[in-house]
Structure 1
Amino acid sequence: MTDATYWDTRYAESTAVWSGDANAALVHEVGDLTPGTALDLGCGEGGDAIWLARHGWTVTATDISAVALDKAAAHAAEAGVTVDFQRHDLGASFPAGTYDLVSAQFLYPRGDVPREQILLAAAAAVAPGGILLIEGHQDFGPFAEQHRSHGDISFPVPAEVLAGLRLAEGEWEVLRCETHDRLQNGPDGVPAHRTDSTIKVRRLPR
């Protein structure tokens, strides 16, 4: 099964896979930034992209799943915001241009292309003065059973993710590189602790 087929099937199985709310880490890290252009990688049903657009950002959002993108476009229309939704298998194609914010929230591709390669492309898409925000997991939390169907997933620690970005010395500022605890409702609706990680770096202005 291809990555696109897997995600199309998953998004077609239910009305909503995700809550529709923006990721809390995105809201926390981006809320005080001056809106500009934003790229949302792995946008799913559009929760983050719509939140960004509502807060004044000009948003390009991409996902591998055409089913997810159709849902996201419908949600954006309902919210009265404009988002440029594009379908990309990020290992094969990547949105053009540079952006003031590039966000990769829990992006774990199932294909043959390493996550590190996609994050390198994400860093290259950050404009001078812009932010790259990467949110990841450090454990499965209450979703170990569901994640087994996703295939092999590794959760590198923040320092490893940062090193994999190969940021040129003197061109970037590291704002956050750390793990943090959060509560997340499990499949049974019971809150459980989960450890996530945040990488937030800024490309210095020229």
Structure 2
Amino acid sequence: MHTEDDPRGQHRFDQEYWERHWTPDAETGEGVGQAVPVSPYLEAETGHLAPATALDAGCGKGTEALWLAHRGWQVTGADISATALAAAAARAKTEGMAGRVSWTEADLTRWEPGRTWDLVVTHYAHPDSGQLAFYERIASWVAPGGTLLIVGHLHAPHAGHPSHGEHHQHVGHVGHVGHVSHHGHGGHDGSGHPEGSTATLAGITALFAVPGWTVERGYESTRTVEAGERPVTLRDVIVRATRT
């Protein structure tokens, strides 16, 4: 969302932004993130874990939450967008997973769940608080012995990000890969995103270089996805950590 009162042309990742993001197109009736495939990192990084309780922080339309539910996890899907959650709940009912997933509308930068989970995952979340603060916050919701999986998209200009005024692939669950948006408004990082809305592998792993945490995996990955009529190359950052 391009806020009119922001002279720099930056958008904020607030509730209004995400409602617009997930609302079906008035002409086509199609919503953002239709038929989005599950994250390739979810099975790779959590497939070895015994199913227990899980939180999908910034679940969007529930792709990853439902993947976990189908594999025996009892899942909480939390997102700021009521529109996305309604679509997720409808899909869960269709797939016979309504009893395995609960959906919570919440601003994850302020939410106080009052509990922990054995697995907390987040994919392409863009909260208004900034990436690192968000990751540190959701880490506090991991139970002792539990696992945190962070998957983010690298928006840095040197990563081949389009310049001012060009289309770029937008990802985020709080969105997911699923549409090409038109932000191109030159933010502090050159991508149109507010300062602090991106993070690096070094920045994320540094959060967990403290007693009580072990980083099990940390890496970047480049992949190609179909976005409308053309393929788009994405550079992802993946960190899996265990709370000891």
Pairing 1:157–2:183 present: no
C-alpha displacement of 1:114: 2.4
Q: Which residue is equivalent to 1:4?
A: 15
Pairing 1:136–2:162 present: no
Counterparts in 2 of 1:180 and 1:91: CA distance versus 1, 3 Å:
same
C-alpha displacement of 1:167: 4.9
Counterparts in 2 of 1:166 and 1:30: CA distance versus 1, 3 Å:
closer
The code of the aligned residue for 2:210 comes to A
The code of the aligned residue for 1:76 comes to A
Counterpart CA distance in 1 for 2:90 and 2:181 is 27
Counterpart of 1:53 in 2: which secondary structure?
Answer: helix
Q: Which residue is equivalent to 2:210?
A: 168
Which moves more between the two structures, 66-75 or 150-159?
150-159
The code of the aligned residue for 1:42 comes to G
Higher fraction of helix: 1
Counterpart CA distance in 2 for 1:13 and 1:159 is 37
Q: Larger C-alpha radius of gyration, 1 or 2?
A: 2
For 1:1-206, list aligned pairs within 5 A.
Answer: 3-14=14-25, 15-18=30-33, 19-81=35-97, 82=99, 83-109=101-127, 111=128, 113-139=129-155, 140=161, 143=169, 146=181, 148=183, 151-153=192-194, 154-163=197-206, 165-169=207-211, 171-188=212-229, 190-204=230-244
The code of the aligned residue for 2:32 comes to V
C-alpha displacement of 1:198: 0.4
Structure 1: state its 5+ residue gaps. none
Q: Larger relative contact order (C-alpha < 8 A, sep ≥ 6)?
A: 2
Contact between 2:56 and 2:122, CA under 8 Å: does it hold in 1? Answer: yes
Aligned residues: 199
Which moves more between the two structures, 150-159 or 67-76?
150-159
Structure 2: state its 5+ residue gaps. 4-11, 156-160, 163-167, 171-179, 186-191
Counterpart of 1:38 in 2: which secondary structure?
Answer: strand
TM-score if structure 2 supplies the norm length?
A: 0.74
The code of the aligned residue for 2:199 comes to P
